[in-house]
Chain A
Amino acid sequence: MTAAIPDVVGPLQIEAEVVSRRRVGAYHHLTLVARGIAEQVLPGQFVALAVGGPDSSMLLRRAFSVYRARPSGAHGGTVEIVFAEAGRGTRWLAGVEAGDLVDTVGPLGRPFRVPETPGAAVLVGGGYGIAPMFALADSIAAAGGRAHFVLGAGSADRLFGVVEARRRGGTVVVTTDDGSAGTRGLVTDVLPDLLMSTGATAVYACGPMGMLAAANRVAVNTGASCQVLVEESMACGIGVCMTCVLPIIGDDGVTRMTRTCTDGPVFDGSAVRFTDVGTVPADTFGAPIVHAGGS
C-alpha cells in the first residue's frame, strides 16, 4: 500500500534516492526519486541538494534547476538535474550511484510565466543552462505556442540536449565559441535572425550572466519580451541567508537587493540591472547615503 501523497503546496525536504547518475558530455545527469517534489515542480523552479553526507564539512546546499520532473513512473515521482563538476560539492555529487540518498529540498523559486496564448518563443541556453528549457517548451506547446531553441557553449562537448531540442520540432540553432559545433560565435549572434525568421515575440534564457544580459538586449531591440533564469550562488535556497541577491527593479520602479531564490530565479530581463551586478547601486532601497567629499 502506498500512502497518499499529501496535497502540499510548498517546498519539502526529503531523502531522495538516486535512480541513476550518468555522464553526458562534460556534464552529469542525475535522476532522483522525489515524491511530493516531482508532483509540484513547475518549469524554471529548482531543487537544493545537501552534499557530502550527514557529517559533511560542506554545510551549504547546492541549487540546481530542474531539468525534468515526472510525477509518476516506475519509481514514483522523479526529478532530474544536469550539473557540471565545478567544485568539491559537485565532485561529491558526481560520485553518487543508484541507491544512494541525497537530502533534497524543493521545489523552490518562482517558475517561468507562460502567457495564455504564447505564440512563438525562442529558448536560449548556455551549456547545461538549457536544461530547464525543455519543460518550459512543453508548457509553451501545451498552451498552443511553438518553442525554438538556441543552444550555445564554449565547445561541442559542453553542449547539452541538442538532440532533445531537435525532437521538439521547432528550429534549433547551435553555436560554439570555438566552432567545434554549429555556428562559431555567441548565442546572441544568431538570436536576432531567429527571432525574425520565426516571428517569435518572447525570449527565455538561462546561462551565464553576460549571456543573459546580451539576450535581454537583443530582445529589447526587437521588441520581444524576455525572461531570464539566473543561477546565483546561494547558501540555503529557501530565503533565509540573503547571499543570492541581485539589484532588481520592482513593479514600483524601486531597485532592491532581491533574493534570487524566493523572488527568482526567473525575472523579467528588464527588471535585472545587469551592468550593476556585483554592486549596490546608489539608488537601491536602503543603499548607504554617500556624503559629498566623504570617503
Chain B
Amino acid sequence: MSTRIAGLRLPNPVMTASGCAAAGRELGQFIDVAGLAAVVTKSIFLSARAGRPTPRMAETPSGMLNSIGLQGPGIESFIEKDLAWLVEKGARPIVSIAGDSTGEYIELARRLRATGVVAALEVNISCPNVENRGLVFACDPDSAARVIAGVRRETVPGVPVLAKLTADVTDIVAVARVCVDAGADGLSLINTLLGLTIDATTLRPTLAGVTGGLSGPAIRPVALRCVYQVHAAIPDVPIVGIGGVRTGADALEFVAAGASAVQVGTAVFGDPHAPTRILNELIAELASRGVSKLTDLIGIAH
C-alpha cells in the first residue's frame, strides 16, 4: 500500500484532511494516528485567530457548508503543543499553512523549518473563509506563484511543498502548472467549494459568514474531475486527492483518476474511525482485484 509524494515515502495513501482532524489529538482517542499516511493539521496562521461568529455550519445533501474562519492558536502555540504531540505519537505531520500575505506564508515556512519534524507542508492558498475573498491566492496565478516559490525557498529540500488548490477557478490546470513551475512538489486537490444556504424560517443566509465552504461526497465528482484533468496535463506531479472520500471505493476512484494519496475530511465528523476504516476498505478493494501495488493503479483511468 506504500506510495510516495515527491521525496516523501508513505506506508499507505490515507491522510486526514486539513480542518477536519484539528491536530490529531481528538482523533487519537479513536484511532492510531501514527498508522495513517499523515495527519494534515488545520491551517495555521502566524497569530491566533478567533474565527467567525456562529452559526458556522449547515448540513447539506451529502455535504456540509462551513464558515469557521480558520480559528486557531497561532504558529507558536501550534509548534509547542500540537506539533510536539504528533511527533510524540509517532505520526507524520503535514502542516497546512495559511496567511494574509506572501510574507506570512514565508515566515510560517521558516518557523516550521526550524522544528525539523515536518513531513511536508501543505500551502493553503484556497480557503474560501478569509475576510477578503480577493485574497484567495489560488485564484490569482501571480500571487499563487509568489507564495509557492517563497515557501519552497524556505523549506528544506526533500520536504515536499504541496499547493492546495480550489476548483473555483476557470482553469485549474493553468493554476496547477503555475504552482508546479514555482516549485510545488505536489498538489492537493481540492479545497471546499464556495456555497450558500438559506434558512427556511428566517429566509436569510444560514451561516453568520453568509457564504461557506462546501465539502463532503456532494463535491466528489468535482474533485475527481480536477484530479483527472491535472493528472492528464502534468502526469509526473504527485496529486493528493481530496473531496468527499467516505469509503475505500471512493479512495480508489481518486487513485484511478491520478491521485498518489487521498485525504479524508468531512467523513471524520460522522465517523471518527473513518481514516482507518477507509484504509482497510482500500486494502480490501485492491485485494479483491488481485492488485498488490497501489502505485500500479495511480492514473489507470486515463
Contact = CB atoms under 8 A, between A and B. Distances in A.
A221 interface: no
Interface string B198-216: 0000000000100000001
Query: Secondary structure at chain A's binding surface: helix, strand, loop or mixed?
Result: loop
Given A59-B216, A60-B59, A245-B71, A239 B26 contact: yes
A233 interface: yes
A57 B270 CA distance: 11
A235 B30 contact: no
Contact of B50 (A57, A235, A243, A288): A288
A177 interface: no
A210 interface: no
A92 interface: no
A236 B26 CA distance: 11
Interface of B: 20-22, 26-27, 29-30, 42, 47-57, 59, 61-64, 66, 68, 71-74, 131, 208, 216-217, 266-273
Q: What 10 pairs between A and B have smallest CB-CB spacing?
A: A286-B48, A243-B57, A286-B50, A236-B269, A239-B26, A235-B269, A57-B62, A284-B50, A286-B49, A243-B56
Given A278-B208, A280-B50, A288-B50, A241 B74 contact: no
A280 B29 CA distance: 30
A210 to B, nearest CB: 15
Contacts of B55: 233, 243
Contacts of B49: 286, 288
B280 to A, nearest CB: 15
Given A235-B57, A242-B68, A245-B51, A59 B267 contact: yes
Contact of B271 (A13, A241, A288): A13
Contacts of A198: none
B21 A257 contact: no
A72 B111 CA distance: 53
B27 A240 contact: yes
Interface of A: 10-11, 13, 50, 57-61, 89, 103, 105, 232-236, 238-246, 256-257, 262, 277-280, 284-288
Contacts of A233: 55, 57
Contact of B53 (A61, A234, A279): A279
Nearest to A260: B54
Contact of A277 (B29, B52, B54, B273): B54
B103 to A, nearest CB: 17
Contacts of B52: 280
Contact of A286 (B27, B71, B131, B208): B71
Nearest to B72: A286
A285 B51 CA distance: 10
Contacts of B54: 232, 243-246, 277-278
Contacts of B42: 242
Given A284-B50, A286-B47, A242 B269 contact: no
B30 A13 contact: yes
